[in-house]
Each structure stands twice: as C-alpha cells, then as structure tokens.
Structure 1
Amino acid sequence: MQFKKLNLFPLYAVIFVAFLGYSMMIAIFTSLASQGSFKITGDLRQFWLGFLLALYPLGQCLGRPFILKLANYYGKNRVYFISLIFTAIGYVCIGTSIDKNFIALSVSVFFTGLSESNITIAAQTVTHVSLSLKRPELISRIEGSIACAFFAGPLLSAWKAPINPSRPFFIVAGILIVICVSFVIRRLFSRLPEISIKMNDVSPFKTWQLGYIAPFILNFALYFSIFGFFRAYPLHLDYYFNMDIRTLSLSITGVSVPIILVTFLVTHRLVKRFSEHKVAATGALIIGVFMLLLPLIKTFGILLWICLILIGAGIGLCLPVAPMLIAKVVRRWEREPVTENDESWVLISEAISSFVGGILGFILLDLPLFVFAGFALFAFSCLLIKIMKT
C-alpha cells in the first residue's frame, strides 16, 4: 500500500484542533476560576477546576470505543465528518455557557470531548501507516501536533479571551466548520490513507495483558508527569504572580516554544545518535528536577523562565520518543495494537492528571507539581535501569 505525505495532513490537523481546544480550556478556565467565575470561590475552586479540565479527556476516553465501532460500520470518512460537526457544536456550547452556568459548561466540555474522540481514528490511521512504511517518526509527529496546539491555543486565548472568553471557542468552532467544508470541496476524504484499514478497539490494558508491564508503567509515568505539568503550572503562575488572562495565556505560549523547537529540531537527531531510552531519560530527568524547583521560585523573572524553558525542553525530548519506547520492545506482530494502546493512555493520563491535580491543589497549591515531578523522576529511574542493563 502506498501513502503520500499529504494524505496524513488532515489527520494531524484533527489531532491539532483537539489539543488546541484543550490548551485553551487550561488557560481560560484557570484564569476565570481564579477570578471567582463559575460561582466557585475559596479552596474548592482547585478541586472543581481539576474536575472541569478532566471532563474533556474523559469524554475522549469514553467515546473512543463507540466511535471506532461506528467507523468500522459506517466508514471512517463519514464518521469523521459527522464527528467534526458535533465537535463544532460542542465548542459553540462551551462558548455560550462559559460565563453562565457551571453545570451547563461541564456538560458542554464533556460532550465536546466525546465528539473529539475522533482523534482515535486519526491516531490509529497514522499508526498503521507508520508501521506499514517502517517510519516511526510519523507517530512522533502526533506529539508534534500536540506541542503546536499548546502553542497556538493559549496564543488564541491571549488574543481574544480578554475581550470575551467565549470568542476563542467560537473561533475553534469556525475552524472546524471550515475544515468540514474544505474536506467536501477538495474531496480530501478520498485521499485519506485508508481505506481498508480496520479500526481496532484496543483495550487500554492491552499492553498489560500482553505482558509488557514495564513499558506500560514507564509511558504512563511520562505522560502523567507531562500532562500534569500542563495542568499544574498555569495555576502556579496565576496564583503567585496574579496574572490576567492575557498574561497567563502568553506565558503558556512561551513555555510551548522550547517544546516545539526541541520536538522538531533536536529530538530526532539525538535519537539517531544515541537511543530512544537515553533521550527519554535525559528529558525525564530535566522535567523532574526543574519541576521540583519551580514551586520554590516566587519571583517573576529570569529564574522562573529558565526553569520553565528547561522543563519545556525536557518535554520536547520525551513526548515524541514515548511512542517509540513502546514500539521498540514489543514483538513485531503485536506492535500495532500495543502502539495504538499507547494513544489511549495519552487520553487517560490527561484525565487522571487533571482530576488528581485538582484534588492535590485543594490540599496544597504546589503539591501537584511535586507529585508530577516525582513521576518524572520515577520514569527516569526506570529508563536509567534499562540503559544500564544494555
């Protein structure tokens, strides 16, 4: 089967838009919660913010098996198209309920997450193409799309949210409608790498069931620490430095810059020269050490930005390499289901880290950063043991 690079662009675009919306939620919801919006005040706002941010990836997790079954029954292209329309509706609902009713907002976020489970179709197709062509870098570009989304989402929030926090969500809805129209007009659906590819409803515990317990634990620790950091550090910045929504969003955008630069310009070169495990170990160590130092910095200045930039660089090393760690150790005939399973744990770690971060933040504001740093250092220890054995 032959595939063209252009064929994968719509798939990466859908993944990008999914995390674009989530990164906007982190920036906007964190800022609004600190201002007493959603009619939530006091210490409980940390808990409810974690609950709210967990609903989106939770919806993606729960919607995953259903959308895969629908894709196999009705066809990927049709399900893809309809899910994009429902996602656009979801963002409109978020925009209309963001400053009105917390329950309506929560339902809207969860519904949007359900619709955005279409990223499963995109991720599985990219995985199949990557393994067919023996090009693991195609899988790592999924993480590159995520990194770009965490740059663009807060930037869009900084541009439009200070005027009206609903506007960024309406803009994303408009982008999705444009994507739908362009798919129809240009017949991009007919050029998706397909098409006979069957969507596999892989259990989230497939890696465990096949006996790959160590890689399962390692990747979960990496994802948990990375997405936990995305969840926790905006709250730290907002609380200690009293940032408005524009400043907070621009700060999140700034942290995303080293992630993008390292992901696209550095990581693949290091992997060729060294190994996936050594690159991931270096990134995990950087993330863990500097995430531990971050709560100690109470002054907005150069030290804070050095710390954030280095954490971003560490994430840029780990995020693209994590799927390769799984593919590296599994048997060839099990590689596809196990690699697809890894995508499930990206979503699960997002949801769990958001909710756990909310609970820990309720106990002590900086406690989430210490816990997530601990998971990064645990991942580093596992990788170091692996390196020393080889």
Structure 2
Amino acid sequence: MKICVFLSAADLDDRYTRPAREFAELLGKGGHTLVWGGSDVGLMKVVADGVQEAGGRLLGVSVDFLAAKARAGADEMVIARDLAERKALLLERADAVVIMVGGTGTLDEATEILELKKHGHTDKPVVLLNTAGFYDGLKEQFRRMEDEGFLPCPSRTWCSSPRSRWARWPTSRSRSAPSDASMAGMATHVITGAGSGIGAAVTRRLHARGDELVLHARDAGRAKELAAAFPGAKTLVGDLADPDKLSWAFSHQTLPDHVDSLLHIAGVVDLGPVGELTPKSWRHQLNVNLIAPAELTRHFLPQLRLAHGQVVFVNSGSGLNAHADWSAYAASKHGLKALADALREEEHANGIRVTSVYPGRTASPMQAKVHQQEGKEYEAAKWIDPESVATTILMSLDLPRDAEVNDLTVRPGH
C-alpha cells in the first residue's frame, strides 16, 4: 500500500521524533511504500529512515526549488515544477493519507485533501495523527466550525483521529483499501496512578508512542504536575478516596468520546492486624482500591463499548492470598478480582476485554511505605522493576483481538 504522509521538514525534539520513528517502522514492517515530500532533512528524514530501514519503499515527490534537499537513496523520486503540482502528484500516487505534525506547508497540503474528501472527490482515507496534542487547537476549531454551521457535515466523517493501536494497521498484503478507522494508529487511554511506580512506567511507554492519554489526578495541583510531566496529555480531576463524588466531578470536565483502555493502577495500603485497624482505614482502602475502580468503570463503559476497549485492573498478590496484617488491603484486592471477573462475563458480548494483573512486590513509593510499616529496610533492587510490570500490561493491550489475557501474575525473578 502507498501511504502519503504530510509532515514537517524541521528538526524537532523527542516528543515528535520518537512517535514518528515508531510509526515509520510500522509502515516499513508492513511492507508499505512511503509517499512523502522527498526531503532528506528534519522529521521527513526521520520517517524516511525508519520506513527504509524496516523494509519499506520510498517514493518521494519533491519540488524544483527544493530538489537539492531531495533524498538520494529513495526508490523513486519525482521533481514537480511547483507546489501545486507536487500536491497533485502526492495525492495521485497514494492509497491513503496521514497528516503528521507540521507548519504552514503541512496545513496547506492537509486542507486540500480534506476539501476533496469533504466534497466527495476522493474516497482515500485520511488520518490526523495528533502527536503530543499538537492538533488539539485544530480539532477544537473543527468542532466550532461544525457547531456554527461552517461545515456541512461532522469532520470525523472525512478525517479520522487515531483510535486503534499501531498493531492494527493493515499490511501491504491487505486485499482491499483501508478504511478511515483501520488507518487510525493510536489509542486513547484513561490511567489512574500515573504519577509514580507502575502507573508512571505505563504512562511513559504510552506517551512515547504518541497515544492520547487522559491521566487521573486527585486535585488540580497534581493535575498540573502530570500535564507538565507528559506534554499533550489531558487530565481528569477527582478524588478516588471519595467515589460518591466522582460522577459530579467528571460532569464538569471534558471527557473522551471513546476509550481504548481504562487502566486502574492507583492504590493505597495501610497495614495492621484486624484488632487494630480502624473503620477509617478500612473505608479508605476499600474506596480507593475497589469502589473507585468500579465507579470509574461504570462511568466509562459507554466509551469502552464504542471502542471495543479493554479494562486493566492492576491487582496484587494480596488479591490471591491474604496474610497477617494485610486484611483490609487483601480484602480490597480480593474484591477487585471479583469485580474484574464479573465485568469480563458481563461485557464479553460488547467486545470489551478485561485483564487482571497480579504483581509481586514492586520497587515503588508504595513498597517503600510497606517496608516502613513493617519496620524493615527498603532496598529497591530486590524487587520487580515497574518497567517490567509495564511490559506485561502493554503486552496485554497489544494482543490481537482474537485473544484475551484474563489474568497475569508477575513475580520477582533471580
């Protein structure tokens, strides 16, 4: 398949180059041909390198006054007389179009194909890759154009935003042209616990992919910190310790219209024997570890059903076995397992996958607190790296749709 990519030739930072490189490698491994502006500089070079090194072909369409910057090693290079001819050739030679980050030149190319698409003069799929939230403003402008009558139909009918995962892109062996939906290369994830430990590790991985992230924060201050740590991510404020108020809090915020995965990673622990734990401690652990995940899941089920998404509950070894001094925490985690098992059975017909992950002791701020409560010295190197748990979680997310991982148990290695 020949995929035209509109993008910048500027030298950009890692927020844009890393997702672009991953995207390019996917195209190359799928046996596709990159159709692009032909330049061998900046982000254009990053994508061309990635496609070619992964086994794909390069078809460049440069322009006379930029011919000196054209890539010498392309499989085919066409030199157009002017920009108008270049745009026509790019669209003519492509089966599908992807709009990546760029400046005025990219916008010029993008708006022309969108006009053609809007008026029915092409049926080639068009996908807008909103890496690091770069096109948030443009998407908002589209919404205003729709609301105020400037567009005759919703923009989503002629330009898709990313929804599915990288692995769902069609290969060059596909028998039919891709749809707009199948061309959408990234997912939307709602994540709790993104600030530290396993949650931070998962969030870093998904952010590096360029996926759209909605990060839960307990208050506005924490939301500001998460937004600074993960540029382009959106935040969702609500206190998990007070699940009765989550629905009210969310009603005053903008939520995604679809959710590919809901990742319950936040958790709290307070050790003590049954004879000493107070009702306040029991309620806090049950609220954060069990009731809030149930309420969040209830709230996002319509968006999950729309996307045929996945719910991941990061449980614990205490969700399988209970020990002295761990009664309240283990009770909350046993309940979380029951929640996951029931949800899986209830939502299977709606295409929702449900996975429980049971990590052993993991090097994290929570584990440091546990050691303090146990009166033991904390040595992070003895326990599982959060990145290792993140790897198992992403494996379950990336699994083809013909399979589902119900339970994942992760234990310290040697």
User: Considering the TM-score relative to the shorter chain, is it more than 0.5?
Assistant: no
Q: Which has the higher contact order (CA 8 A, sep 6+)?
A: 1
- TM-score class, shorter-chain normalisation, is under 0.3
Of Structure 1 and Structure 2, which has the larger fraction of its residues in helix?
A: 1
TM-score by length of 1: 0.25
TM-score by length of 2: 0.24
